[in-house]
Amino acid sequence: MQIIGITIGWIHIMATAIAIGGSYVLHFIIDKVAEDMDPAEGGKLKGAVGPLFGKIAAIMTLLVIVTGVMRSQAMGLLNPSVLLDTSYGNLLSGKIVIVTIITVNSVLLARNGIKAGALASADGAPDTTTIDAIGKQQKMLGMSNFILAAVAVGFAVAMRFIGAPEV
């Protein structure tokens, strides 16, 4: 049965790495390249890459949640006394809160992306003021998710160092 636990742990770590790595590429490379392009072409680039990454990130986030719950349940960590009365549980609770915030932000990112795409492809001149405002919000939400994910990784490292409590 150890192979199942190892496999679930591997999926959890790989999904996290793919989501964080993709976020890094999107926000530090694609955004920079798009800013240096003609605004219309940069918008097309972001419009092509953003939805694709959004789908990948959604799948990876779902995998992180499912495998995290599976691992925590198998270890007996999803009870209030562990979550509230141990350092490990406090860090796990923090990760749960962070992943919840990341998920809500991701829904907002997807909604804003759909809205910006509809505005950009509408007949007539696009409403650039609204599109620019959406772009600024997208950057803020995306960067927030990146920073929150980095904090969650820090919590995971601390949890590994502390070790799970005996339950």
pLDDT tens readout for residues 47-91: 889 889 999 999 999 999 999 999 999 999 999 999 999 999 999
Is the full-model pTM beyond 0.75?
Answer: yes
In the chain, domain spans: 2-162
User: Higher-confidence residue: 38 or 79?
Assistant: 79
Using alpha carbons, select from 64, 59, 53 the residue that is nearest to residue 153.
64
